[in-house]
Structure 1
Amino acid sequence: MTVKNNSLTVLPAGHTLHHNGVFSKDGQWIVFDGRNDDTKIGETSTIGIVNVGTGEEKILYRTQNQTIYGPGVGAVSFSPVTDKVIFIHGLADANQEKPYAMSRRTGVGIDISQPNHPFYYDARDINAPYTPGSLRGGTHSHGWSGDGKLISFTYNDELIDPNLRVVGVMVPFSKGVNVESGQGNNDGIMFSAIVTNVVRSPRPGSDEINKAFDECWVGENGYTQASGQHVPYAIAFQGNVLNNEGKQITEVFIVDIDPGKILVDSLAVGKSGERPQVPKGIHQRRITFSKKGLSDTRHWLRSSPDGKFIYALAKDQDELNQLAQIDVSTGDMTLLTSNPFSIDYSFNLNKEGTKIAYVAQNSVYIFDLITGVSTKLLNQEKGKIIGAPSFSPRDPLLVFNQYIKDRNGKDILQIRKVSLPN
């Protein structure tokens, strides 16, 4: 099946889609950042939206005093329930000595009805004693819970072990988190906490991890444990363990999120000389015990709407990336595809949880979870397709990133759309 591939954006600037949350709740707008290269967040100055039907583009936010060293913005996603977005924002004091970095950024928001009026989601406080609910590093790859109330993120601390990546969560906090003013500090409207434990040197054969990353929320409304208890909020994440032979592999972990336990543990913010701690009563658990682990190709986990399954990439016997399904209750992992080629990037499910879109061989494929069949949507594509395709929440529509040559022959990253058959 070949369908018409239409260009949605045409302006001579980059249009990078995040791996999730690119559509507004009504499916009418798509949010993007101005990158033309995935690695250039620190040099990027704009966040914009484009209308799905008309192609009209609007700039929501533009940084001030942007240089090649920062502050930089990128990786933007819509709330599933409001017309607000969240994106990475580098620190205002970025310069050649202290440029944009994974430990020097925060989550900033915009209401699309009020462009250029930014606000901070997470508070940042680098002066001990630290304010409960604040962080002192950089948040990244923000993801909304199904009800739009909580936000997950990955985090690197600026002061202690900046290379140790962990997963955290922001929860609603009516008072907001207010910190003392100072360079590198900012208030935040939500209360932040780290919810994963990592160590520098995991013990071989143990469940200890040296990195927690590339997570997703489990279910649109949580999941049900084998005991029958419903868990309203949980995050599945990738964790690097060492097997019995000391080889590093990536497994899937889950952490149940209790906002009440997070809000009452004021000591979890940590002391001077230590990283933020996991609040009491919050515990991660490993759910997969596989021989090879997940693929080392960068991708984010995805969940079925009912929270029963987690989806990932894993390599087959020929070392090709295939879609994998993980049972949340048992941890059993099953390869869903058996393509004679490798899947290239992350992927996304549709809202109903019946189809998965992915990129391989410079084309977009749809895998039907009901029939178990993959369908190629595009043929003879000239420009390189990158990243994770995203389904509209309302219409039979898919959008993705593709490099298109401008009049001068330069590759410009644009947004393309594909109308899907009903």
Structure 2
Amino acid sequence: MEKQLTFAPRNHQLTNINVWTADSQWLVYDVRPSQSSFSGLTLERVSLSGEREILYTARDGAHVGVVTASPTLPQRYLAIHGPEYPDLRGHYDFHHRRGVVVQAGIAQTLDACDITPPYTPGALRGGTHVHVYSPDGERISFTYNDQVMHQLDIKRDLRNVGVAVPLKAVRPPKQHPREYDGSHFCVLVSQTPPEPRAGSDEIDRAYEEGWVGLHGYLRTDGSRQHSALAFIGDTRSAQGEKVAEVFIVDLPQADADFAIAGAQPLQGTPAALPAPPAGVMQRRLTFTHQRRWPGLVNQPRHWLRSAPDGSEIAFLMKDDQGIVQLWGIAPSGGEPRQITHSEWSMQSAFSWHPQGGKLAIICDNSVMQVEAESGEMQRLTPRSRLAPVGDAAVWSPDGRYIAFLRQVDGWQQIFIADGR
């Protein structure tokens, strides 16, 4: 059974995760005309009964989008915010945007910006994207592009993964119209050399990250890693071809440790990107270069998602027949496990049931429930002529519903399906 929640003749855009409020009663969305057109003015939410509320309205030439909700109370929202007065401060771009925390209709800037040397620890120098709270509602992950590197050499403006922690507000000196304060201490946790060595674990792009476990994961020695992020990293094969693999970074348990620099400055230099805190090292989990179809797929676009107990990180990769399947791998590494053995390719991003054991995904033009252990698939919506939009299939925190998108009369609308 499925139910349509929005009906207005305009697009409604769900993010790929954290689209439900903590009480499972509202879905948050933005109103961009398409994913690639960042021109929406409002962040909104709709209830299970169809009631609509505006959460925030951008002003002064700015636009907003890609909204997610906090998994804990008090209810907060995260979003991308474009620059106000863009003719004076630069127009929206990957390296010209910021994250905001929205509460009671007010947007507070998340990531401070300092683009004038010598830069400020805890501030960034560019734009952040897809902001997602950790399961405890404390830390925030994001992807990042750097304005300093973009101006130095566009090929060195490499996508990276970062983390914002509520350690302290960051207030850099204001020497440029695009410099501003931020509520959180922000760092990058991935490393991307501009020219990865062929056949190595080096990457030049880190993206589509996801928090590992509700409380991290168990290491092989039985101890607990309390905080970690998995992400996709683009490696190079021995022949120099780009191959996307699964990576993980273990994060400090204490927020204060994010302010301890490693071998390179947290804030970066005029010739180098910001660097991870001391002890934060990325680790490669998958090694697929020799497979018939190497690497994770980029179509459908998807984000790595961990089982709630942190035991397995799910991703999409082709099987030997070229069919896109769900796979999983342990945070400690090892051989990937093929979860689905479907005759049809997976068609969307996906999410885990909040208690684990099953996933929601779109396949064969239907919303499907997948049993994680057996890979058995159960059709939750009838097969339609046009597949649901592949951007989202997100379980509610209470496990009752799955939110997804359909095209209706040329407009993207929000639907829910009953989970089982």
User: Any residues of structure 2 matched to 1:187-266 within 5 Å, and which?
Assistant: 187-258=181-252, 259-265=255-261
Matched, 1:38 2:35: yes
* Counterpart position of 1:61: 56
User: Any residues of structure 2 matched to 1:63-102 within 5 Å, and which?
Assistant: 63-66=58-61, 71-82=62-73, 83-95=75-87, 98-102=90-94
- Contact conserved, 1:261 with 1:281, CA < 8 A, in 2? no
Instruction: Name the SS for the 1:124 alignment partner.
Output: coil
Which of the residues 174, 178, 183 maps onto 2:171? Answer: 178
More strand as a share of residues? 1
User: CA separation in 2, counterparts of 1:362 and 1:59?
Assistant: 31
- Contact conserved, 1:366 with 1:375, CA < 8 A, in 2? yes
Q: Which moved more, 1:240-249 or 1:264-273?
A: 264-273
| Alpha carbons of structure 1 residues 220 and 395: separation in structure 2 relative to 1, 3 Å | closer
User: CA separation in 1, counterparts of 2:57 and 2:88?
Assistant: 20
* Counterpart position of 1:284: 282
User: CA separation in 1, counterparts of 2:373 and 2:331?
Assistant: 19
User: CA separation in 2, counterparts of 1:56 and 1:343?
Assistant: 32
Which of the residues 265, 270, 273 maps onto 1:272? Answer: 270
Instruction: Name the SS for the 2:378 alignment partner.
Output: strand
User: Any residues of structure 2 matched to 1:112-191 within 5 Å, and which?
Assistant: 114-115=104-105, 117-161=106-150, 163-173=157-167, 175-181=168-174, 182-191=176-185
* Structure 2 runs not aligned, ≥5 long: none
Matched, 1:332 2:340: no
User: CA separation in 1, counterparts of 2:238 and 2:386?
Assistant: 44
Instruction: Name the SS for the 1:394 alignment partner.
Output: coil
Shift of 1:99: 2.5
User: CA separation in 2, counterparts of 1:261 and 1:206?
Assistant: 29
Kindly provide the CA deviation profile for residues 319-363 of structure 1, in whole angstroms up to 9, marking residues without a partner as x: 221000112223311211121221122111110111111112332
Kindly provide the CA deviation profile for residues 343-392 of structure 1, in whole angstroms up to 9, marking residues without a partner as x: 12211111011111111233211111244310122225355521121111
* Counterpart position of 1:305: 308
* Structure 1 runs not aligned, ≥5 long: 406-410
- Contact conserved, 1:261 with 1:282, CA < 8 A, in 2? no
User: CA separation in 2, counterparts of 1:236 and 1:103?
Assistant: 23
Shift of 1:245: 2.4
User: CA separation in 2, counterparts of 1:95 and 1:347?
Assistant: 38
Matched, 1:393 2:386: no
- Contact conserved, 2:83 with 2:89, CA < 8 A, in 1? no
Amino acid at match of 2:370: F
Kindly provide the CA deviation profile for residues 262-289 of structure 1, in whole angstroms up to 9, marking residues without a partner as x: 1233931122332211222211111211
Kindly provide the CA deviation profile for residues 75-113 of structure 1, in whole angstroms up to 9, marking residues without a partner as x: 1111111200100111113249943111111111111xx
Amino acid at match of 1:302: R
User: CA separation in 2, counterparts of 1:208 and 1:395?
Assistant: 38
Kindly provide the CA deviation profile for residues 231-273 of structure 1, in whole angstroms up to 9, marking residues without a partner as x: 1111111111112222221111111111333123393112233
Runs of 4+ in 1 over 6 A off after TM superposition: none
Which of the residues 12, 17, 34 maps onto 2:14? Answer: 17
Amino acid at match of 2:45: I
* Counterpart position of 1:408: none
Q: Which moved more, 1:132-141 or 1:256-265?
A: 256-265
Amino acid at match of 2:392: A
| Alpha carbons of structure 1 residues 64 and 383: separation in structure 2 relative to 1, 3 Å | farther
Q: Which moved more, 1:196-205 or 1:94-103?
A: 94-103
Kindly provide the CA deviation profile for residues 114-173 of structure 1, in whole angstroms up to 9, marking residues without a partner as x: 12x110111111222212100011111112111111111110101204541111101112
* Counterpart position of 2:366: 363
Q: Which moved more, 1:221-230 or 1:190-199?
A: 221-230
Kindly provide the CA deviation profile for residues 279-326 of structure 1, in whole angstroms up to 9, marking residues without a partner as x: 222111112112312123221000011111100000012222100011
Q: Which moved more, 1:307-316 or 1:280-289?
A: 280-289
User: CA separation in 1, counterparts of 2:33 and 2:369?
Assistant: 26
Shift of 1:185: 1.7
Amino acid at match of 2:10: A
User: CA separation in 2, counterparts of 1:10 and 1:79?
Assistant: 26
Number of aligned positions between the proteins: 403
Q: What is the aligned-residue RMSD (CA, Å)?
A: 1.8
User: CA separation in 1, counterparts of 2:181 and 2:305?
Assistant: 31
Instruction: Name the SS for the 1:74 alignment partner.
Output: strand
Shift of 1:22: 0.3
- Contact conserved, 1:171 with 1:190, CA < 8 A, in 2? yes
TM-score (norm 1): 0.91
Matched, 1:107 2:99: yes
User: CA separation in 2, counterparts of 1:97 and 1:305?
Assistant: 41
Amino acid at match of 1:416: F
- Contact conserved, 2:364 with 2:387, CA < 8 A, in 1? no
Percent identical pairs in the alignment equals 35
User: CA separation in 1, counterparts of 2:186 and 2:333?
Assistant: 30
User: CA separation in 1, counterparts of 2:372 and 2:387?
Assistant: 27
User: CA separation in 1, counterparts of 2:321 and 2:374?
Assistant: 24
- Contact conserved, 1:383 with 1:404, CA < 8 A, in 2? no
- Contact conserved, 1:236 with 1:254, CA < 8 A, in 2? yes
